[in-house]
């Protein structure tokens, strides 16, 4: 028997890095922390969580760079185009945050909450989307 396995595909902006995550991948949260603003160039990141070993790098592993800030978890991006791909300490951590912005296939569901709303910037507005809002990491 051939196991039925459908992966969701993701990539960076330049296409040098391609990866897959399992199809039971679930969108979880919008993160508005200051770090996510810096690395996203916007209001923050949108993330889903998977086990780190469930992220399969299909192409471009040599292009990946992981930045470990003094505080917080490691973030991984494409060294060519700068797209932020993974956070939460991937690949060393047990679980990784996968940026929804990097996924090319439709993600099932949508994030259920906004986290780090205490870090919402003066130039940023939170949408009135009815989602739970959490001050910190939630």
Q: Which residues bind Zn ion (CB under 5 A)?
A: 12, 14, 16, 31, 33, 36, 78, 80-81
Helix ranges (H only) for 1-138 are 34-40
Beta bridge partners of residue 21, listed in sequence order: 8
Rounded to the nearest whole angstrom, what is the least distance from the CB of residue 5 to Zn ion in the complex? 26
For the CB of residue 58, give the shortest distance to Zn ion in the complex, in Å.
13
In our burial notation (b when 16+ CB lie closer than 10 A, e otherwise), range 53-91 reads eebebeebeebbeeeeeeeebbbbbbbeeebbbbbbbbe
Residue 3 or 122 having the CB closest to Zn ion:
122
Least spacing, CB of residue 1 vs Zn ion, in Å: 37
For residue 133, the minimal CB distance to Zn ion (Å) is 14
Residue with smaller CB distance to Zn ion, 34 or 92: 34
Phi, psi of 53 (to 5 degrees): -75, 0
Determine contact, residues 23/6, Cβ cutoff 8 Å. Answer: yes
Nearer to Zn ion, 6 or 71 (CB): 71
Tell me whether residue 51 or residue 118 sits nearer to Zn ion (CB atom).
118
Q: Which is closer to Zn ion, CB of 8 or CB of 78?
A: 78
CA-to-CA distance for 45 and 84, rounded, in angstroms? 9
Q: What is the nearest approach in angstroms of Zn ion to the Cβ of residue 130?
A: 21
Kind and range of the H or E run holding 108? none
Largest CA distance in the chain: 56
């Amino acid at each position: 028997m051939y196991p039925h396995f459908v992966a969701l595909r993701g990539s960076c902006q330049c296409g040098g890095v391609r990866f897959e995550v399992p199809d039971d991948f679930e969108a979880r949260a919008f993160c508005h922390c200051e770090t996510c603003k810096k690395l996203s160039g916007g209001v923050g990141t949108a993330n889903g969580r998977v086990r780190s070993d469930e992220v399969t790098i299909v192409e471009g592993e040599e292009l990946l760079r992981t930045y470990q800030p003094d505080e917080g978890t490691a973030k991984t991006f494409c060294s060519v185009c700068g797209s932020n791909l993974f956070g939460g300490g991937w690949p060393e951590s047990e679980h990784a945050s996968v940026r929804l912005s990097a996924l090319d296939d439709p993600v099932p569901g949508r994030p259920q909450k906004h986290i780090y709303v205490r870090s919402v910037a003066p130039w940023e507005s939170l949408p009135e989307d009815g989602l739970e809002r959490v001050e910190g990491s939630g």
